[in-house]
Amino acid sequence: MRTALDEARAALVGGDVPVGAVVLSPAGTVLGTGHNLREATGDPTAHAEIVAIRRAAVALGAWRLTDCTLVVTLEPCTMCAGAIVQSRLDRVVYGARDEKAGAAGSLWDVVRDRRLNHRPEVVAGVLEEECGRLLTDFFRSDR
């Protein structure tokens, strides 16, 4: 999660919401990292999770991220939850809950929906206070 927090801070440079993500191999090595790049790139799909998943897939040379873990500072939204399911990640670890758009247990629970063919494990609240504080400080500033 510390690496994901570093990525979240990197998002601030481009004026993006400070969310960071890391995809880890089964052995715990970093396969891909990402932070929000929507403002920097003008790409509405450039969420931290999507960026990290894409980079991990390139590193592995395959779209299936079976046995891998996504670590992200904020609970994934519905778009990212869909990408998590489609990429076959085994586990999602997130910091702060997103009561307004979270899709891993808060508002929705897309990643564990029994109607889907893949349901990763979800671990919530890792360094929650630190992850949440970064976001709160961002939204309280004059951006």
Residues carrying an active site annotation: 49
Given a contact cutoff of 8 angstroms between Cβ atoms, the answer to whether 134 and 5 are in contact is yes
Residues within the annotated binding site?
47, 77, 80
20-24 and 91-96 strand pairing? unpaired
| Sign, Cα dihedral of 107, 73, 15, 40 | negative
Q: How far is CA 55 from CA 16, 35, 48, 102, 138, in A?
A: 19, 11, 11, 23, 26
Among candidate residues 97, 93, 88, 94, the one with its CA nearest the CA of residue 116 = 88
Residues within the annotated binding site for Zn(2+)?
47, 77, 80
